[in-house]
């Protein structure tokens, strides 16, 4: 049984999913791929939108998609540094 | 040897020493800003606070030394002051150093219990209570006694780690560095209370403290740059 993901891992997983889907994914598949409950997913996505890690975009049919913001890309770039730092300093 | 050394030399050495410590603390604080801003990880936040407040503690300690030295050179009577300076200096040192040490302890201790406790509030409350006692007493010995008690509590708390931690040893290199950091801080306070009597002893104390801060700064820079290369 895999261990429970911490907050930083969940954020990383969500951002990776969006990036790997050509930086554009609908809410329902993102929820499915992220392996979170609806409630948790909504909490995380609200946090990511507030922090501008993720942005909402709408197509011509007014369908909602999620896409990475600059901060989202930055987070993915720095994720290994953050995890390494936390492990090294036992934080 | 101490009494033959002009006080200004000692002030100069203390100024350089304080500046070096503040620069190391500043490097740690600003180098970790980006990863904190991105992650908002509480542990990183406490870690940064540790070095911010240590820098403030060392700054106030230096200002206190500067005051004591110049008071003796210029023969300024304490009766000239409405509020005795040590009633301001000691409580400030207490507050900043308590927040610094407790932040370092809680940076890892908070992981042992998953609660909704606002550890930041707990840290500042403990620091304020200790500051109040030191203010009432106006005594450096009360300050040192409280710091020593905190040092003992810190050793206990740092060792209450989650069971799945890789390093369960009481003497991991990181923990030893933290113990030495606390220990030399207390010795520094002793030296502050006694005044700069021995040039050699003071210099040795300063060198050891600088080595400890350098080792932490070096570890921070190495950790941040190493992974950057991998990425």
- The answer to whether B228 contacts A85, with C-beta atoms less than 8 Å apart, is no
Phi then psi for residue A64, to 5 deg, are: -85, 140
Which tops the pLDDT comparison, A12 or B189?
A12
Burial of B18 (0-12, 13-18, 19+ CB in 10 A): buried
pLDDT in tens, B7-40: 677 778 888 999 999 999 999 999 999 999 999 9
Full set of structural domains in chain A with CATH: 7-88 (1.10.10.10)
What is the pLDDT, as a whole number, of residue B185?
Answer: 86
The pLDDT mean for chain B works out to 81
- The answer to whether A71 contacts B38, with C-beta atoms less than 8 Å apart, is yes
- The answer to whether B224 contacts A77, with C-beta atoms less than 8 Å apart, is no
Which tops the pLDDT comparison, B3 or B170?
B170
Give contacts of A8 with chain B, Cβ < 8 Å. 39, 41
The C-alpha atoms of residue A50 and residue A23 are separated, in whole angstroms, by: 18
Where would I find the H helices in A1-91?
Answer: 7-20, 27-34, 38-50, 70-88
Do residues B19 and B208 lie in contact, with contact meaning Cβ atoms separated by under 8 Å? Answer: no
Chain A CA closest to residue B36: A82
Query: Structural domain boundaries of chain B?
Result: 8-156
**Pairing relationship of beta strands A54-58 and A64-68 according to DSSP bridges:** antiparallel
pLDDT in tens, B143-163: 888 888 888 888 887 777 654
A58 touches chain B (CB under 8 A): no
pLDDT in tens, B184-194: 888 888 777 77
Question: For the whole model, what pTM was predicted?
Answer: 0.85
Please name every residue paired with A55 in a beta bridge, in sequence order, or none if there are none.
Answer: A67
């Amino acid at each position: 049984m895999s261990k429970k993901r911490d907050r930083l891992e969940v954020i990383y997983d969500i951002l990776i999913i969006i990036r790997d889907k050509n930086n554009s994914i609908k809410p329902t598949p993102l929820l499915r791929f992220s392996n979170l409950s609806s409630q948790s997913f909504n909490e995380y996505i609200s946090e990511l939108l507030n922090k501008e890690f993720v942005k909402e975009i709408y197509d011509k049919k007014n369908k909602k998609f999620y896409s990475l913001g600059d901060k989202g890309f930055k987070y993915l770039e720095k994720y290994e540094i953050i995890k390494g730092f936390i492990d090294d300093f036992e934080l | 040897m101490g009494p033959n050394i002009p006080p200004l030399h000692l002030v100069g050495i203390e100024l350089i020493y304080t500046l070096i410590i503040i620069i190391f603390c500043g490097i740690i604080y600003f180098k970790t800003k980006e990863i904190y801003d991105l992650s908002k990880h509480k542990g990183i936040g406490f870690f940064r606070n540790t070095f911010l407040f240590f820098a403030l503690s060392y700054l106030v300690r230096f200002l206190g030394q500067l005051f004591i030295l110049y008071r003796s050179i210029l023969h300024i009577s304490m009766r000239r002051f409405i509020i005795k300076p040590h009633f301001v200096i000691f409580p400030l040192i207490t507050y900043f150093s308590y927040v610094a040490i407790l932040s370092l302890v809680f940076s890892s201790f908070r992981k042992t219990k998953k609660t909704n406790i606002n550890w930041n509030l707990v840290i500042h409350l403990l620091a304020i209570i200790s500051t109040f006692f030191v203010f009432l007493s106006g005594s450096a010995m009360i300050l040192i006694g409280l710091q020593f008690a905190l040092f003992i509590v810190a050793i206990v708390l740092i060792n209450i780690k989650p069971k799945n931690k890789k390093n369960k040893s009481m003497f991991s290199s990181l923990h030893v560095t933290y113990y030495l950091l606390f220990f030399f801080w207390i010795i520094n306070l002793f030296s502050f209370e006694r005044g700069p009597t021995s040039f050699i002893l003071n210099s040795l104390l300063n060198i050891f403290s600088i080595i400890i801060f350098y080792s932490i700064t070096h570890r921070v820079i190495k950790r941040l740059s190493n992974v950057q290369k991998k990425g």
